[in-house]
Structure 1
Amino acid sequence: MRKKEYLPKILETGANELEVIDFRMYEELEDGTIYEWVLGVNVAKVKEVIQRPSNIFRSPGMPPEVEGLAKIREEVIPIVNLAKWMKIKVPQQKSDKYVIVMEFLREVIGVLVHEAKRIRRIKWADIKKPPASIDEKLGGKVVGVIEIEDGQLLLLLDFEGILDELGMIKVFNVEDKEEYAKSEKSYNILILDDSPVARKIIRKILEKDGHKVYEVESGIEGLEYLESLAQQAEQEGVDITDKLQLIISDIEMPGMDGLTFTKKVKEHPVFSKIPIVINTSLSDKATVDKTRFVNADAHLVKFDTKDLLHIVREYAIKK
């Protein structure tokens, strides 16, 4: 009964959903017309939406896409100018009226936007890969697209990728070599993450520690991979844990999110033998509660080398 007290509705209904803040950016095209970009970010990353602060101060060494620093609720945070990052010409009648204050990857940042519209509930299964032209325009930093009313496309932005491009992602404890010398054991580890940046960082940490890493981009691909692995194991007369000793999964992935994937794996008679660690940019209590409800073995916040290697050595099945 205790789990029911904090069970999120999206898991209670098995809807495989997320909530996003729908916000808009406006671009003046060469012919003088105005294009409306419909964009979105996971509500779980958002602390609040506020009006643009009156005082934003530049600091030496900041990338041009960072407007400056602002004090918001007694905390000084960087403010990213999304229009500058998108390299769009802003119409004179439009301005950066709002700041979406986000918290993820142990950081709090603000993002200047033209308009904040509403909160939408979206099914992960309805999120598709972006058209190549849109993905190229936004530097490959679109997690997925979903069709909304009037045939418009809402684009979910990869803010982790954007911060990495701006040099604002921190990988903690990467030089802690004395305590975390190369592991004595080598494990086969599956990573699920739709972000190439995240996969690259995690792969580098794990391979440096001596492990064999496999990658997929979504929960759907993860289940397909495990099905294939189970067939191989059966043909060879070995247990699936001889093939794979640990799964590390993100939460936010198109098609099937990491929580739904974890729930399905833990309910499977064969796959459930493999430990699963939820590795996410989200560290709030609600997210931790969700990972517990789907019976994940551990929750890990990106990107801490020391924590990641500690989790691997604690939870990977010893063969």
Structure 2
Amino acid sequence: MVPEKSKGALPDILETGKNELEIVDFRLYEDREEGVYEWIFGVNVAKVREVLRMPEITKIPNMPPEVEGMAEIRGKLIPVISLARWMGIHEPPERKKFLLHLEFLRENVGVIVHDAKRIRRITWKDIKKAPETLNQKMGGRITGVVDTEDGLLIILDFEGILHDIGLLKVFHEAEAYEQAEKTKVSKTILIAEDSPVARRIVKDILETAGHKVILAEDGLEAWNLLNDYLKKAKQEGKAITDYIQLVITDIEMPNMDGLTLTKKIKETVGLMGLPVVVNTTLSDDSNRQRAFRVNADGFIVKFDAEELLEMVNSLAVKGEGS
């Protein structure tokens, strides 16, 4: 079983901006007519507080059906999600269970799994787009897949899963829009975000506040877009900030992660003056430090609308569209 890790600890071998990550490989077993099927899943080790034997769970009325109940972990009551129930699969009877204790989006959540095998070190380039039929089966909640010696490992979009269950929170929306009415500024902002749910939430917050948004589904797409704009800027004798005033990037993305994207922007002549905000589910201090080591201009944890708009107003440089 994967050992407990201390809060905020990240493996020393992961160098910031090297497009690498470590994931906890965990399993879920499905009882089928032809036998037991083993699902192979992965989650970023930075989200995993610990792996526990199943604690006592207290049933709570009026909770979503996917929520098994609440469990007391280290003095905190946290919701416990049945991943099998969310997937709509039948678990084998008497199968031993464990609890993945996750911390992200300012929340602590327990996820019931059948086994936690190991920690895998991979690069974001190893992560490929999921086959469409598989992604549809998972409700579009797959970040990507990785070929392993055991079979296809699926990295789940836990932001999307929390959204489906009704546990995803967006903070201070009313205050944010009230402040936006007073400032009356408009910026063009590039968002690099692989989660469809997160992309829509950030886009809606920014557009409701009057900003223009350019979307990229991962760091590589954002990098290619920036280079297209940089080429255009050189041809027209302008600066990149005449077209884009701010980049907001997630950390966890296939092909190129947000820290690598930030590092490349800050090392490229013509782009290095473009402000970059890292917007992530990973709320521990180590990820904040990693973001600033690649010279990010800001770091925020999803999803606080007021903090996001304050960051935009303080960092977005004045460009042609202002």
TM-score by length of 2: 0.93
Structure 1 CA distance, aligned partners of 2:249 and 2:111? 27
Superposed counterparts of 1:198-217, under 5 Å: 198-217=198-217
Structure 1 CA distance, aligned partners of 2:91 and 2:263? 44
Match of 2:21 among 18, 22, 30: 18
Q: Secondary structure of the equivalent of 2:133? A: helix
Show the counterpart of 2:38: 36
Q: Secondary structure of the equivalent of 1:292? A: helix
Structure 1 CA distance, aligned partners of 2:240 and 2:294? 21
Q: Secondary structure of the equivalent of 2:253? A: coil
Structure 1 CA distance, aligned partners of 2:51 and 2:285? 20
Letter in 1 for 2:47: K
Q: Secondary structure of the equivalent of 2:86? A: helix
Structure 1 CA distance, aligned partners of 2:288 and 2:235? 38
Structure 2 CA distance, aligned partners of 1:182 and 1:135? 42
1:80 equivalent to 2:114? Answer no
Show the counterpart of 2:140: 140
Show the counterpart of 2:184: 184
Structure 2 CA distance, aligned partners of 1:118 and 1:211? 43
For the 8 Å contact 2:192–2:219, the answer to whether it is kept is: yes
For the 8 Å contact 1:183–1:210, the answer to whether it is kept is: no
Show the counterpart of 1:3: none
Letter in 2 for 1:18: L
Structure 2 CA distance, aligned partners of 1:159 and 1:262? 23
Letter in 2 for 1:104: F
Give the alignment's Cα RMSD to 1 decimal.
Answer: 1.5
Structure 2 CA distance, aligned partners of 1:50 and 1:30? 30
**Cα deviations across residues 135-166 of structure 1 (Å, max 9, x unaligned)?**
1111111110001115x111001111100011
Structure 2 CA distance, aligned partners of 1:166 and 1:7? 31
Show the counterpart of 1:66: 67
Show the counterpart of 1:45: 47
Q: Secondary structure of the equivalent of 1:125? A: helix
1:172 equivalent to 2:174? Answer no
**Cα deviations across residues 29-87 of structure 1 (Å, max 9, x unaligned)?**
233x111000010000111110001x211212211100001111110000000110111
Q: Secondary structure of the equivalent of 2:242? A: helix
Gaps of 5+ in 1: 1-5
Structure 1 CA distance, aligned partners of 2:182 and 2:44? 36
Q: Secondary structure of the equivalent of 1:231? A: helix
Q: 1:184 to 1:8 in 2, by over 3 A?
A: farther
Show the counterpart of 2:232: 232
Letter in 2 for 1:69: M
Moved over 4 A (4+): none
1:56 equivalent to 2:57? Answer yes
Q: Secondary structure of the equivalent of 1:312? A: helix
Letter in 1 for 2:72: K
Q: Secondary structure of the equivalent of 2:296? A: coil
Q: 1:16 to 1:178 in 2, by over 3 A?
A: closer
For the 8 Å contact 1:191–1:248, the answer to whether it is kept is: yes
Post-superposition offset of 1:235? 2.5
Post-superposition offset of 1:93? 4.1
Show the counterpart of 1:243: 243
Letter in 2 for 1:65: E
**Cα deviations across residues 244-276 of structure 1 (Å, max 9, x unaligned)?**
000000000001110011111100011112100
Post-superposition offset of 1:182? 5.3
For the 8 Å contact 1:182–1:208, the answer to whether it is kept is: no
Structure 2 CA distance, aligned partners of 1:175 and 1:16? 36
Post-superposition offset of 1:111? 0.3
Q: 1:8 to 1:223 in 2, by over 3 A?
A: farther
Structure 2 CA distance, aligned partners of 1:7 and 1:30? 41
Show the counterpart of 2:124: 124
- Between stretches 230-239 and 309-318, larger displacement belongs to 230-239
Post-superposition offset of 1:8? 4.9
Q: Secondary structure of the equivalent of 1:99? A: strand
For the 8 Å contact 2:241–2:318, the answer to whether it is kept is: no
For the 8 Å contact 1:183–1:209, the answer to whether it is kept is: no
Post-superposition offset of 1:180? 4.1
Structure 2 CA distance, aligned partners of 1:58 and 1:93? 20
Letter in 1 for 2:162: L
Gaps of 5+ in 2: 1-9
| Count of aligned residue pairs for this structure pair | 309
**Cα deviations across residues 146-191 of structure 1 (Å, max 9, x unaligned)?**
01115x1110011111000111011000111444425322100000
Superposed counterparts of 1:249-264, under 5 Å: 249-264=249-264
1:300 equivalent to 2:300? Answer yes
